[in-house]
Amino acid sequence: MLQATSQSGTILDKEIFIKVLHQLANCFLEEGTAYALYSHPKDDSIHFLCASGGEVEKVSLDAHFKEEGFLISPFYTVEETNNKWFIPAKSYFCFKIADDKIVFESENDRIAWDELCKKHLKSNHQTNPSTHFNFCKPKIGFEEGTLKETFVHTVNLAKKAILENRLTKLVPARTKTKEHTGDFSIVDKFLEMYFSFPMAFVNLHYTKEFGLWMGASPEILAELKDNRYFHTVSLAGTQWQKDSSSIKDVAWMQKEIEEQALVSRYIIDCFKKIRLREYEEIGPKTVRAGHLYHLRTDFYVDCLETNRQDLFPTMVELLHPTSAVCGMPKEAAVQILLDREAFDRSLFSGYLGPINLRDASHLYVNLRTGFLLEDKVCFFAGAGITEDSDPEKEWEETEMKINTLASLF
């Protein structure tokens, strides 16, 4: 076995650490152990947690839910009490990459790593010099996604419904598959995302229920820090970054401005439903996510001052699925998507993230994501359709979004 625990203190050799982490990820798939590896936007820390023998739980998110772990919700869930999947953080640590070293953030983090290696890596379990990864077979089915003709037809149907005042917006999605040989390290792919998308929530996670997913989401669904400060975001409008362009040079068309305003209005309507008037709104402003630009508005609430201790779970339930991934009105848009889309969105456009870890909870909309199979990766993307949408341009937008992640393969 690689000497994963041979160095003292909180510093390890980077090359050895990454090889051992890859070996652990393979072990987890063999054992069926759920895990998550992730990094927050604008944060150089990398977090790892796993069930480590514990089962993934189906839970209901409410103000009384205090367990520490990683929450996953698919795009569509039936109306039942426990409709989210939760990976309990039976083992959890945090580290940073400094040149050729791995630096754990505390001695406790280093101890958690050592214990994880001792538990899952047996002395006779030799690391294969190949980077081949043992891909899993999830319980959920997989279907090829939307052909261009079908997608364009859905866009035209959406525009017709909007003109007839049956919809305000619709966000149809599509998939695209890309073959791979499997001769790569999934941990290396995660690190490629980590270095390529510093403004995104970069994640790699596995459960027996949903399989192996990776992504780099630019969109916050909801955050709660210090059990007090609530934050959510409206993100819409998409432009490809040109070689010479910078944020100050980006100009937006009326279609993108109106699309982003619809998402902001949706959040404000959610505040109105619970009679919340005390919030701070900042934006819209142009932000960059990988090679794409978006319009973004931030909303902040002090839960203590407003006496809204249950705001985080309440708003998560109200916001999902947001108009940025579904449409408006929500109920009508969801039904059209379920009827029209010839594939299962599964975790795409659902939400995910760590809960109750280090006095904070962060949930992100699951965008720029891929589902890894034995010989291919399935990528997902959607486009916001309004009455001014051009079907050909909307298709091109989904291509841009998919290529953000697909370019790593």
Tell me the mean pLDDT in the region 261-274. Answer: 94
Tell me the mean pLDDT in the region 170-180. Answer: 92
In a domain, 224, yes or no: yes
Q: Is the pLDDT of residue 1 over 60?
A: no
Residue closest to 222 by CA, chosen among 317, 333, 290, 289 = 317
Q: Tell me the C-alpha distance between 90 and 82, whole Å.
A: 21
In a domain, 365, yes or no: yes
Q: Tell me the C-alpha distance between 345 and 321, whole Å.
A: 12
Give percent above pLDDT 70 in the chain: 90
pLDDT of 162: 94
Max CA separation in the chain (angstroms): 68
φ/ψ of 152, rounded to 5, equals -60, -40
Taken in order 338, 344, 348, 351, the sign of the CA dihedral is positive
pLDDT band at 205 (very low <50, low <70, confident <90, very high): very high
Q: How far, in whole angstroms, is CA 315 from its chain's centroid?
A: 18
Packing angle, helices 330-340 and 148-163, rounded to 10:
150
Q: Tell me the C-alpha distance between 68 and 89, whole Å.
A: 6
What CATH number has the domain bearing residue 354? 3.60.120.10
Whole-number average pLDDT of the chain: 89
What token pair was written down for 385?
């359709």
pLDDT of 308: 96
Report, in angstroms and rounded to the nearest whole number, the Rg of the chain calculated over CA atoms: 21
* Predicted structure pTM score: 0.91
Task: Note the pLDDT tens digit of each residue in 6-51.
Answer: 455 789 999 999 999 999 998 998 888 999 999 999 999 999 999 9
Number of domains present in the structure of the chain: 1
Residue closest to 74 by CA, chosen among 155, 139, 154, 137 = 139
What token pair was written down for 118?
């001792």
In a domain, 249, yes or no: yes
Place of tokens 């379990």: 125
Residue closest to 387 by CA, chosen among 173, 235, 160, 172 = 160
In a domain, 19, yes or no: no
In a domain, 291, yes or no: yes
In a domain, 35, yes or no: no
Residue closest to 221 by CA, chosen among 355, 344, 333 = 355
Q: Which residue has the higher pLDDT, 271 or 340?
A: 271
pLDDT band at 243 (very low <50, low <70, confident <90, very high): low
In a domain, 95, yes or no: no
Q: Tell me the C-alpha distance between 120 and 402, whole Å.
A: 35
**Separation in Å, CA 348 to CA 102, 174, 210, 214, 309:** 31, 10, 11, 11, 29
Tell me the mean pLDDT in the region 256-271. Answer: 92
Q: Tell me the C-alpha distance between 317 and 103, whole Å.
A: 37
Strands 101-104, 91-98: pairing kind: antiparallel
In a domain, 122, yes or no: no
Range of the domain at 223: 148-181+219-406
List the beta bridge partners of residue 201. Answer: 217
pLDDT of 146: 67
Task: Note the pLDDT tens digit of each residue in 96-155.
Answer: 999 999 999 999 999 999 999 998 886 444 444 344 556 665 555 555 556 899 899 999
Task: Note the pLDDT tens digit of each residue in 274-315.
Answer: 999 999 999 999 988 777 888 999 999 999 999 999 999 999
